[in-house]
Amino acid sequence: MKAAASEARHAGSNDPDVIVAQWRAIFPDLDYDTASLWTRMRRATKVVVDASATAITPFELTVADFDMLAALYREPPPRVLTIAALAEATSRTHGSVSVHAKSMSERGLIKRLEASVDARLSPLQLTRKGLTLVEKIVPAIVAAQTEIMAELTRGERRELATLLRKIGAPKARPRRSSALRRSPAR
């Protein structure tokens, strides 16, 4: 009876400790320290992204839209990037950047400059309207992120930044485990 009650309490749980315990029960020989961290990082990311999305909502933008506008804003005048450079700057695909660029171009937030041959090479430029919008949004996003990070001391925030920098640096690419490199059994 006790096991059934515990099982019911943990079924569909969203608690990282419960999730790891469930996996540990299924695959007891694996090390779950990283899985627990991974789950917590995903959750923390979701909290920050959701707060940013909430701060952006009154401006009728998505987080992807804002990321692109912000990347253009950070460029020196005339604030121009190619789709490829914008994709790199925002960690998005070329296709995603193209879709968002079309929408923001229609709204007058960016403009597509003429390319010589290939439309995919057309540079994108932040317009005055886009620039003004970024200047309105940044304080709202920073306030939302500051509220979330208020749970941490200044020292904890610095330490967290240092640790995340170690795993988020461009040179740190996920390595496939040897189990994933093996060909499937036939």
Euclidean distance between CA atoms 80 and 126, whole angstroms: 7
Residue-level pLDDT at 24: 92
Placement of tokens 């057309």 in the chain = 122
Helix, strand, or coil here: 125?
A: strand
Tokens of 61: 């933008």
- Provide the residue ranges of all domains of the chain, joining segments of one domain with +: 12-162
Residue-level pLDDT at 171: 64
Tens digit of pLDDT for each residue in 90-143? 999 999 999 999 999 999 999 999 876 776 678 999 999 999 999 999 999 999
143 and 137 in contact (C-beta within 8 Å)? Answer: no
CATH of segment(s) 12-162: 1.10.10.10
Residue-level pLDDT at 183: 46
**Counting beta carbons within 10 angstroms of the beta carbon of residue 180, is it exposed (0 to 12), middle (13 to 18) or buried (19 or more)?**
exposed
**Predicted model pTM:** 0.76
81 and 98 in contact (C-beta within 8 Å)? Answer: no
Euclidean distance between CA atoms 112 and 89, whole angstroms: 17
Tokens of 135: 């200047």
Spatial CA neighbour of 146 closest among 53, 40, 48:
48
Please give the sequence-ordered ranges of beta strands (E in DSSP) within 9-166, or none if there are none: 80-81, 110-112, 124-126
Low-confidence ranges of the chain (pLDDT < 70): 1-12, 116, 119-120, 170-186
CA angle 27, 29, 35 (to 5 degrees): 70
Residue-level pLDDT at 182: 47
Helix, strand, or coil here: 5?
A: helix
Q: What is the DSSP letter of 150?
A: T
